[in-house]
Amino acid sequence: MPIVIYISVALSILSFILLIILFLRNPQAGNKEIATQFAVIERNQERLERSLKDEISKNREEMLLSAKALRQEVSSSLLTLNESMMRRLSESLQSQLGQLDSFSKQLQLMTQANEERLGKLNETVASQLKSLQDDNNQKLEKMRETVDEKLNATLATRLDNSFKQVGDQLQLLYKSLGEMQVLAGGVSDLNRVLTNVKARGTWGEVQLGNLLEQTMTSDQYEKNVATKKGSDARVEYAVKLPGKDDSKNCVWLPIDAKFAQEDYLKILDAAERADAAGVEEASKALENRVKLDARTIRDKYIAPPATTDFAIMFLPTEGLYAEVLRRPGLADYCQTTCRVMIAGPTTLTALLNSLRMGFATLAIEKKSSEVWKLLRAIKSQYTTFNELLDKSLKKIGEAQTSMENVKNRSELINRKLGKVEELDMTDAEKVLGLDEGRAASEE
């Protein structure tokens, strides 16, 4: 039907084109023909319209029939598909229901089996726990008994030690109280010594003797030495100095202790009262006293060549020594005019140490030949010492090798015993009999 329509339209268009061509070639003669052709074209168009309407009507009826057939076919296909799907769903549902029933039965069987296993497991665990609890109770009871015994023994031992320590401390306390009483008596005696002029001199002499004893040997000084021939004056201490040309006659270094306590205490009292005039007056008195003592030492004890051309005045306290040095020109007067050197405890100790080192140097020089002989003897014995040392090192190496062998044997035994189950410490001590030995040692 569409082809017929297309052909009719094409013929109409072709006729129209031919009319136009004829009109263009012969306009006058062609008017009639054109009119005739237009009439033919109109009739053809009318026929064409009727044909088109008929064809359209037929096409509409055919399309309606085709659509109706298509709807019927689609409905039939859908019904068939629906029935097929319903059938398949029903079959699948039946299969799944069967599988669910089978799974439910299997699950029920597994549940029953698990319940039976859990029951047996609970019984086994309960029995093992009971056995373990009984075993633990027994071990705890043994441990409690052992701990009680050890605690009782330890407590008794510590109580005895505590009572003993308390007794010892009480004895120390009684002893300390006695020492404090003795110290109090010594303080009282020292106070009496410091308030007595003669006793103060004795105390200074004792302190000087202690310093000499601590720094010098007994053959390097003498006590109460008469340094001047034909004089009864004796110096408290004198240090022996070697004479010229290594002669047996020694040269004495006189050392005398002086303690101007009253004048020094007056200076301290005036300083505490901030009394400048009193301080100056007491300092002047101390200066005069020291000068007098220096002249006395020069006149009594310095007698070259039996003695050195100077002597030493020992002041027993550092405070008194510092006060004497603080007076301008006093130390210089004593040293240049009186040939007396003033020294406190620290200064005298340093001087005596210097003298002792000098004596040691002289002794080393005198005995250098003996030392050289001794070194030669030591050198001759050193070869023997090296031989003995080599032998000792060899013995030590052999002992070390033996110890390494013992260690290897011990490691081998430990590896062999590795699979053996260990006992706890208490049972092991009982098996080896160590607990009896420990109890005996504690008793």
Amino acid at position 432, single letter = L
For the chain, how many residues are written? 443
362 or 215: which carries more pLDDT confidence?
A: 215
Instruction: For the chain, give the mean pLDDT.
Output: 76
Residue range 53-62: mean pLDDT, rounded: 82
- Report the Cα 373 to chain-centroid distance in Å: 56
Q: How far apart are CA 250 and CA 242, in angstroms?
A: 5
State the greatest distance between any 2 C-alpha atoms of the chain, in Å, as a whole number.
206
pLDDT at position 43 over 80: no
pLDDT tens, residue by residue, 278-287? 888 888 888 8
pLDDT tens, residue by residue, 96-118? 888 888 888 888 888 888 888 88
Query: What's the confidence (pLDDT) of residue 34?
Result: 62
Tokens of 419: 């699979």
> In this structure, are strands 221-225 and 340-343 parallel, antiparallel, or unpaired?
unpaired
pLDDT tens, residue by residue, 345-403? 888 888 888 888 877 777 777 666 666 676 666 666 656 666 766 777 677 777 777 77
Cβ(314)–Cβ(257) under 8 Å? yes
pLDDT tens, residue by residue, 316-354? 888 888 888 888 888 888 888 888 888 888 888 888 888
Query: What's the confidence (pLDDT) of residue 198?
Result: 45
Confidence category of residue 199, pLDDT binned at 50, 70, 90: very low
Residue range 414-438: mean pLDDT, rounded: 59
> In this structure, are strands 235-241 and 221-225 parallel, antiparallel, or unpaired?
antiparallel
- Report the Cα 63 to chain-centroid distance in Å: 104
Helix (H, G, I), strand (E, B) or coil at 340: strand
Give me the residue spans of the domains in the chain.
Answer: 2-106, 196-366, 379-442
Global pTM value: 0.41
Query: What's the confidence (pLDDT) of residue 153?
Result: 78
- Residues ≥6 apart with Cβ < 8 Å to 38: 19
Residue range 259-277: mean pLDDT, rounded: 81
Confidence category of residue 3, pLDDT binned at 50, 70, 90: low
pLDDT at position 437 over 70: no
Query: What's the confidence (pLDDT) of residue 205?
Result: 80
